Amino acid sequence: MNSRIIGLTDWFKTEPGAYLLGWERDRFDQAVGDVFGYHALQLGLGELDALHANRMPHRWLAQPWLDDAQPALLAHSVALPFPECSLDLLALPHALEMSLDPHATLREAERVLVPEGRLVISGLNPASLWGLRHRRVRWTQRLGLGEPFLPVEDGLIGYWRLRDWLGLLGFEVESAQFGCYRPALDNARWLDRFAWMERAGGRWWPIFGAVYFVVAVKRVRGTRLLEPAWKARAKRAPAAAVAANRESPNVSCTEPPQPGI
């Protein structure tokens, strides 16, 4: 198992980790609750059920290791066992930070998503109080004076860098949020004392939250999705004259195939 995966999993059991996990759980529930389709996949971080509020008939958790306590598909983020255009929703809770090649992980996400499919990402924000402490402690760690605050060995992926990657792959950012504005503290009591910073941070320094949450849509040029039949009937009903019905052209991958697993 990747050492950074072990570190992140253990870190979410700490006080700041549980605080951040609670915030992300609410955001995932809100983001995926109204996403419709047939197939949804969560990649990694079984501690957070990112698809809990989704109602698709087929939902999976994929992890790069086997866990008897938590059944999941055995899959790596850069080689998912699904054909092209087969998933309607893909959730990546900190999957980019756990990946040895985050850009390749995004390319794989683009491959398996259908046109207009949703990609939901959460990640640690380097432009935050938490990111600042992490960078400072990493410098002092070289002198043996401290331990890193965040369980990430390499540099964190910034929000604007992530947006550039998504744009190059044909994704359009539908929404973005930042959260967890409290200082980088290890004690739950002190974290509670700074609860007032949640409202102040969201108003005065919104892009400096400890975590960002992004919902992106896969856009494909030259495609047009078919409307439901009831919408087509509703549009033809007021017409007084008989006219030929011109059907909209079909779009590839609108009926996703079963995953090859």
Confidence band of 225 (pLDDT split at 50, 70, 90): low
Q: Is the CB of residue 251 less than 8 Å from the CB of residue 224?
A: yes
Residue 107 burial (C-beta neighbours within 10 Å; 0-12, 13-18, 19+): middle
Name the least confident of 23-27, 65-69, 84-88, 123-127.
65-69
Cβ neighbours for 39, distance < 8 A, ≥ 6 positions apart: 56, 58, 59, 60, 82, 86, 87, 88, 89, 256, 259
Whether 102 has a pLDDT exceeding 90, the answer reads yes
The whole-chain average pLDDT of the chain stands at 82
Topology at the third CATH level for domain 3-218: Rossmann fold (3.40.50)
Whether 243 has a pLDDT exceeding 50, the answer reads no
Look at residue 226 in the predicted model and tell me its pLDDT.
60
Look at residue 200 in the predicted model and tell me its pLDDT.
87
Whether 113 has a pLDDT exceeding 80, the answer reads yes
Name the least confident of 2-6, 79-83, 124-128, 155-159.
2-6
Which has more confidence, 64 or 253?
64
Whether 103 has a pLDDT exceeding 60, the answer reads yes
Average confidence (pLDDT) over 137-161 = 68
**b/e sequence 45-83, b meaning 16+ C-beta within 10 Å:** bbbbbbbebbebeebbbbbbeeeeeeebbebbbbebebe
Whether 261 has a pLDDT exceeding 60, the answer reads no
Confidence band of 248 (pLDDT split at 50, 70, 90): very low
Per domain, the residue ranges of the chain are 3-218
